[in-house]
A and B are shown apart, each in its own frame.
Chain A
Amino acid sequence: MTRALWTHLVKDLRIEWRSLDALISMLFFSGLVVVLFSIAFDPRGEVSQQIAGGVLCVATMFASVSALNQAWAREIRHQVMDAQRMVPSPAAELFLAKVIVNFLFVSIVQIILAPFFLIFYNLHIAGQGWLLLLVLPLGTWALVGNGVFFAALSMSSRNRELLLSLILFPIFIPALLAMVQATTAIFTGAFEPTLWIKLLLGYDIIFTTVSLLLFDVVFHAE
């Protein structure tokens, strides 16, 4: 189990390390979204506390789509996908490796973005700040897990980059709602984020399990 997963993981990390395509584009794009939102909503005073959680989550979401579109497109060149299909190890391992790699990328972007974000929006965290270390990874996992799955699903379509957003966003909405509510609760300290964290956890468990079970079908669809 672990060896094939590890191989895929190292391979994807090495490819990314050599070009840094996904990381740089995600960083710049999420930074842009943060700036665009601050122009659209004028985050001064109380308002910034209220909308910061939402902006952070939506910025992450839009940015990660650019990386998710790359996730499988990289494998098309030189018929790597066909080679992957013939590998005897289960496809779920390949899927899990891709999810972990993209989860790492998005998390790195979030970590780099966080200080700028705090400065731009003049944030002071009124709730329990350490809970962010739970909420953001859970939300990111939900996004990336489904994203990698649907990116594989939309690979064969004519306009796959459009299709990924069209099918990923509706299914991600419940998790986005939970993520936004939880981060807003932490930033403002106005209410308890516990229920929303539980919802995120449940969402992650359900969708990761189903993705792992169904990935083989998607991968070998003919």
Chain B
Amino acid sequence: MKKTIFTLYAAITVALMIWGYYQAIYVAPTDALQGEIFRIIFYHVPLFIGAFLFFAISLCGSIGFLAFRRTHPEWAQSADAWALAGAEVGVVFCSNALILGSMWGRRAWGIWWTWDARLTTTLILWLIYVSYLLMRRFAAGPQVQTLAAVLGIFGALDIPIVYMSNRWFRTQHPAPVFGGDPGSGMDKSMLVPFGWNVMAWLAWGILLLILRHHVERQNQKFAEDEAAESLNASN
């Protein structure tokens, strides 16, 4: 049953991705000022929305692990798997969004990268989560989950700084399109394709997230079984 639902969800996700691509490339009108290159926004922004969502999931996983590790070990293990999966998928989304943004910058600004506050802080965010993943790899032993959870919380503290920096600092990055100053916002003809793409990319990310969580749970179970076996063998 679970498998059927998952297959169905995967099929819907793929359909959404194709539909989103069609909407972004063929349906949305060309931007009056930027021309075709503006279509990157249909990927750049949804990917960042996804990255922020998955980092948030990673944070919830970290907090969940710390909260349940004494009372409900099974929940804590699952929460830890969510934390790891969220960080990994978030890093993938964030990397892609950074690369796409860089390509847009090459056309719009004439440079691949600029050390403006928003770009810099996003890069820092990316670095923090990469260091989180590195730490999970380096720090061996039973305490790695606890330490990773703490580091995950520290990493997440940086997210509000990233988000607010766009408004706090003078910046070269475009002002927020949504919820910014009066006059910001998107025309309806672009908003509909944008909405489809946000949905498609989030669905795709969640698909990856579920798969990764499943794999990590299996890993945990194997490790547990191995530990139990070696314990039995030594007795």
Instruction: Give A residues with C-beta under 8 Å from B.
Output: 150, 153-154, 156-159, 162-163, 166-167, 170-171, 173-174, 177, 195, 199, 206-207, 210, 214, 217-218, 221-222
Interface residue? B10 (CB, 8 A): no
A154, A171, A177, A195: the one within 8 Å of B158 (CB): A171
Query: With A157-B139, A170-B127, A210-B157 as given contacts, are A218 and B150 in contact (CB-CB < 8 Å)?
Result: yes
B161 pairs with A157, CB closer than 8 A: no
Cβ–Cβ < 8 Å partners of A156 in chain B: 139, 141, 143-144, 147
B158 pairs with A163, CB closer than 8 A: no
Query: With A163-B138, A163-B139, A173-B124 as given contacts, are A210 and B154 in contact (CB-CB < 8 Å)?
Result: yes
Tell me the smallest distance from the CB of B166 to a CB of chain A, in Å. Answer: 14
Range, interface on chain B? 20 to 34
Give Cα A163–Cα B168 distance, bound, in whole angstroms. Answer: 32
Cβ–Cβ < 8 Å partners of B149 in chain A: 217
Main secondary structure of the interface of B (DSSP, over half): helix
Least CB separation from B140: chain A residue: A158
Interface residues in B137-166 (C-beta closer than 8 Å to A): 138-144, 146-147, 149-151, 153-155, 157-158, 161
A173, A177, A217, A218: the one within 8 Å of B127 (CB): A173
Tell me the smallest distance from the CB of B165 to a CB of chain A, in Å. Answer: 9
Main secondary structure of the interface of A (DSSP, over half): helix
Cβ–Cβ < 8 Å partners of A157 in chain B: 135, 138-140
Least CB separation from A163: chain B residue: B138
A166 pairs with B157, CB closer than 8 A: no
Tell me the smallest distance from the CB of A32 to a CB of chain B, in Å. Answer: 26
A154 pairs with B150, CB closer than 8 A: no
Q: Which of B130, B132, B141, B154 has the most CB of A within 10 A?
A: B154
Task: Across the A-B interface, give the 3 residue pairs with the lowest CB-CB distance, nearest first.
Answer: A157-B139, A221-B143, A170-B127
Least CB separation from B147: chain A residue: A153
B135, B144, B153: the one within 8 Å of A166 (CB): B135
Q: Which of B121, B132, B150, B157 has the most CB of A within 10 A?
A: B150
B143 pairs with A158, CB closer than 8 A: no
Interface residues in B75-134 (C-beta closer than 8 Å to A): 120-121, 124, 127-128, 130-132, 134
A170, A177, A206, A217: the one within 8 Å of B150 (CB): A217
Tell me the smallest distance from the CB of B169 to a CB of chain A, in Å. Answer: 8
User: Given known contacts A171-B128, A174-B158, what 12 new A-B pairs fall within 8 Å (CB)?
Assistant: A153-B150, A154-B135, A156-B139, A158-B138, A159-B138, A163-B134, A167-B132, A167-B134, A170-B124, A174-B161, A207-B154, A222-B142
Interface residue? B66 (CB, 8 A): yes
Cβ–Cβ < 8 Å partners of A221 in chain B: 143, 146-147
Least CB separation from B132: chain A residue: A167
Give Cα A173–Cα B120 distance, bound, in whole angstroms. Answer: 10
Query: With A158-B138, A166-B135, A210-B154 as given contacts, are A218 and B146 in contact (CB-CB < 8 Å)?
Result: yes
Give Cα A220–Cα B197 distance, bound, in whole angstroms. Answer: 45
